[in-house]
Structure 1
Amino acid sequence: MKLFLHRKDLRVDDLAAFNYLLSSSEPSLHMLILDPFLLRHSRHEAHSGKQFLQYVRRLMNLYKQYGKTIYVVYGEPEVVLEQVLHNAPIDEVIVHRDFTPYAKTRDRKLREVARARGVSFTEFVDHTLADLADFQISSGKSGPYKVYTPFYKKLNTYLQTFYRPSSPLHLGDLSTVDLAQLEGSQRLLELIQSWVPPFSLEDYMPAENPIESLDDFLTDHLPFYAARRDYYAYDGTSSLSAAINAGAISIRKVYEAVMEQEHSAAWVRQLVWRDFYLYQSIYDENFFGYEKTFDFTNLSDRHFEAWRKAETGVPIIDAAMTELNETGRMPNRLRMITAMFLTKNLLCPFTLGEQYFRYKLSDYDNTLNRGGWLWCASLGFDASPYFRIMNPVTQSITYDPSGQYLRRWLPQMAGLSDKQIHQPQAHAIVDLKQSRAAAIEVYKHILKSKPTVELGGSEDG
């Protein structure tokens, strides 16, 4: 019997593991292990945790809808797996891989548990648009791409020749194991009933069908996406990032749907940015350890609380942080503006903002979040040059000239004129011009600093 463990693949179609399971021609036991480490610090109450658990609820409903069985449990993955293998006739464990430091450590432990039991451990990569390992080989380069545009051009060419189309295979084509009908499984059933989370999954509304969001985007927004995507007061984005990052919708099906449309190039470019950050997480050995590579002693957390609480006195920063705190959403351009303001104007370590977004972003993904923060902090492959620092007032005037977004999230400023509303308030915590000049000097030093300690990794999935 095969055991399939769901992780960040919360859907029931176009899964590499499902293709493999069907080829085995035998029933499979399906589980999802809610990991206490990834839900620590009450993350189940934060926007990122709540969004993920809503997709878990949707997955549970889909299994029920198709008459299949999934067991959702709470516990340390290697402990749960050891008990499952001890109490069920499993001969192979099947998972989809991830490349974060925590995911690698977790899967090493799972692999060791399986090996100790004489059980095979099979892994597939299923969350990228391209097969990145094969792409790197086919590129003919001795080292990885470090600049986005050449990567984008080469990947587009690669996809035209080697693209892996989505699979028509569905959960309904598989036979899942119901332990209640399996002889000798009483002990495992008892354990499963004891592996309950310290919160009720019933408290989370199942997430909506992301296919509907995709259809709406293709119909109503894609034709105007290139022209409007940076104008954040007008929400012309797909709103699919949370579903894609949780694996609730296949990245291949998204790509295929978009490629059938006119005006698709600008949005495909954003999908490829996603693969570029995932590529970096594999091929940039420092990706999860830059904070341990450079000298950050000239940075501090002095202004972090004001930034976090939307109390900087710079309207666009405070409006964006208010939206994030209240809803878990923040348009991409505002993520760049707020992150660069924190790292450069406020001279805070990027890790503080990265960790804060980890809890607040409803579409949180460790790799993509880190990639964005590294870019703003002028670190990593194809990062923003240290001397390029976004002026939040200029950005606000350019992309929200009438102040519509500011009035929505800072209603106390609604009475100001279109010109006044963008300007820093009297209590602004930094002077933009002076802080920019200081940041250039500080980051010039940071980028010249030598490695200080042995590299480590971000401890989150």
Structure 2
Amino acid sequence: MILFVHRKDLRVDDLPAWDAIRARGKQSLHVLILDPFLLKRERHLEHSGINFLQHAARLQKLYQAAGQRLHVLYGEPAAVVSGLLASHPVEELVFHEDFTPYATHRDRQLRATAEAAGVAVTAYDEQSLVDLREFQRGSGRSEPYKVFTPFYRKWSDYLLHFYRPASAVHVRELATAELHPSAAEAFALPPELAASLAASRGAEAGHAGGSTALAPDPHRVLGGFLAERLRSYADGRDRFAHEATSRLSRHVNVGAISVRAVYEALLAHPQREAWLRQLAWRDFYIYQARLDAHFFTYEKRYDLSTLDNRHFQAWCEARTGIPIIDAAMTELNTTGWMPNRLRMVTAMFLTKNLLCPFPYGEQYFRYKLSDYDNTLNRGGWLWCASLGFDAAPYFRIMNPVTQSETHDPEGTYIRRWLPELAHLPDKTIHRPQLHAIVDLKTSRTQAIDVYRGLLHSWTDA
């Protein structure tokens, strides 16, 4: 028997591990482990946790529709796997790789647990569109790319010659096993999680918000975007008052649809270039997370003592007095979504104008974003904070008023999320309010001075 553990691959097709499982012709036990660590601080009630649980519920329904069994368990992954190995005749543990610090530690424990039981372990790489190990070897470089543009050129060329197509294997082609009653009892879900999953399974797809909605079919979301909005994406993606983006990230980031399926669908469209670059940015951040030794520790490499969090709570609660910042944070807190340009604007405002260390904002987004992904979220925050690779220069500080005036001249977005300002004319609705917590011009000048010195504080210690 093969033990297959789902993680950020909440789908029933195009999973490299399943090609191998089918080829072996063995029965497989399929589990999804809800880890207490990932659900601490009641994260299951926050947008990121709700999105994951909605997709977990959808995955259960997809298994059921295919006549197969998925077992959702609760506990420390190594402890759960140890229990499953003790109660089932498992010969091999199989999963897909992840490279965050938490995932690396978790998988090291899983390997040790399996090896102690004499069980083989096989991990498959499927997160990125290109095989990043082969990509780096084929680049002819001793050091990884640190700048996006040359990475993108090589990435595009690699896809033309070495693209790995999506797998055709579906879960219905596998022989999934039943769970031993002792394991089901030992690793049963806490009542609140069990109730949330049950409610989502019984709900209809596509309801906005709430923990009882079922995640919509990502293939339909993708198809709708390609048919209706891809043509105008390049010009409309920054006009954040309008729905010009795909909204697919909440599905891709939990693996409800593979990035290969996205890419292959995109190839049929001549207007693909602008959106294809977004897939390249995704691979670029995953690439850096694997090959940049400091990617997850940059805050420990710089002296951030000149920064503080005194304005952090006001930023979180949309009380800064800068209309576009407060509107964006209101949308995030309410819905779990924020347009990409406004993610940059709000992050740069927090790190630069408010001089708050970026990990505060990074962690806040971890809970609030429905489409949260550790690597991609961190990459964005490092860019805005001018730290790490290919980051914005320290003297580049987006002016939120200018951004709002440029990309939403009528103030439609502000009127939507801050209705108390809806009466203001177009020319004044973007401007800071009298109670704004900082002056934009003064705080920009101060930020340039602070970050100029901060970037010289690098240490390898």
Q: TM-score range by the shorter chain?
A: over 0.9
Q: Give the drift of 1:343.
A: 0.1
1:323 corresponds to: 331
> How far, CA to CA, are the matches of 1:188 and 1:368 in structure 2?
35
Q: Give the drift of 1:340.
A: 0.1
> How far, CA to CA, are the matches of 2:115 and 2:323 in structure 1?
56
Matched position secondary structure for 2:455: helix
How is 1:5-404 mapped onto 2 (pairs within 5 angstroms)? 5-179=5-179, 185-192=180-187, 194-196=188-190, 198-199=192-193, 200=195, 201-204=197-200, 205-404=213-412
> How far, CA to CA, are the matches of 1:114 and 1:146 in structure 2?
36
Which residue type is aligned with residue 316 of structure 2? R
The C-alpha deviation readout for 1:172-206, integer Å capped at 9, x for no partner, is: 11111124xxxxx44334434x4546432223332
Matched position secondary structure for 2:4: strand
Counterparts in 2 of 1:435 and 1:87: CA distance versus 1, 3 Å: same
> How far, CA to CA, are the matches of 2:183 and 2:243 in structure 1?
48
Matched position secondary structure for 1:388: coil
> How far, CA to CA, are the matches of 1:314 and 1:208 in structure 2?
34
1:449 corresponds to: 457
The C-alpha deviation readout for 1:436-460, integer Å capped at 9, x for no partner, is: 00000000011000327x4xxxxxx
> How far, CA to CA, are the matches of 1:22 and 1:59 in structure 2?
19
Matched position secondary structure for 2:32: strand
Matched position secondary structure for 1:30: strand
> How far, CA to CA, are the matches of 1:419 and 1:16 in structure 2?
54
Counterparts in 2 of 1:189 and 1:313: CA distance versus 1, 3 Å: closer
TM-score (norm 1): 0.96
Q: Give the drift of 1:259.
A: 1.2
The C-alpha deviation readout for 1:106-154, integer Å capped at 9, x for no partner, is: 0000000000000001101111111001000000001000000000010
> How far, CA to CA, are the matches of 1:228 and 1:217 in structure 2?
13
> How far, CA to CA, are the matches of 1:17 and 1:102 in structure 2?
22
2:208 corresponds to: none
Which residue type is aligned with residue 382 of structure 2? L
Which residue type is aligned with residue 92 of structure 2? E
Work out whether residues 327 and 417 of structure 2, in 8 Å CA contact, stay in contact via their aligned partners in 1.
Answer: yes
Work out whether residues 95 and 123 of structure 2, in 8 Å CA contact, stay in contact via their aligned partners in 1.
Answer: yes
Which residue type is aligned with residue 354 of structure 1? E
Which residue type is aligned with residue 406 of structure 1? I
Which residue type is aligned with residue 412 of structure 1? E
Matched position secondary structure for 1:260: coil
RMSD: 1.0
> How far, CA to CA, are the matches of 1:173 and 1:191 in structure 2?
29
The C-alpha deviation readout for 1:336-390, integer Å capped at 9, x for no partner, is: 0000000000000000000000000000000000000000000111000000000
The C-alpha deviation readout for 1:375-422, integer Å capped at 9, x for no partner, is: 000011100000000000000000000100010001001111100000
> How far, CA to CA, are the matches of 1:407 and 1:249 in structure 2?
34
Work out whether residues 73 and 184 of structure 2, in 8 Å CA contact, stay in contact via their aligned partners in 1.
Answer: no
> How far, CA to CA, are the matches of 1:410 and 1:320 in structure 2?
9
1:182 corresponds to: none
> How far, CA to CA, are the matches of 1:299 and 1:196 in structure 2?
40
Matched position secondary structure for 1:72: strand
The C-alpha deviation readout for 1:296-333, integer Å capped at 9, x for no partner, is: 01100011011000000000000000000000000000
> How far, CA to CA, are the matches of 2:167 and 2:29 in structure 1?
21
> How far, CA to CA, are the matches of 1:122 and 1:318 in structure 2?
47
1:458 corresponds to: none
Work out whether residues 10 and 56 of structure 1, in 8 Å CA contact, stay in contact via their aligned partners in 2.
Answer: yes
Q: Give the drift of 1:27.
A: 1.0
Work out whether residues 56 and 206 of structure 1, in 8 Å CA contact, stay in contact via their aligned partners in 2.
Answer: no
The C-alpha deviation readout for 1:243-297, integer Å capped at 9, x for no partner, is: 0000000100000101111200000001100000000101111100011000001
> How far, CA to CA, are the matches of 2:458 and 2:432 in structure 1?
36
Count of residue pairs brought into register by the alignment? 447
> How far, CA to CA, are the matches of 1:412 and 1:348 in structure 2?
28
TM-score (norm 2): 0.96
Q: Give the drift of 1:91.
A: 0.6
User: Identity across aligned pairs (percent)?
Assistant: 57
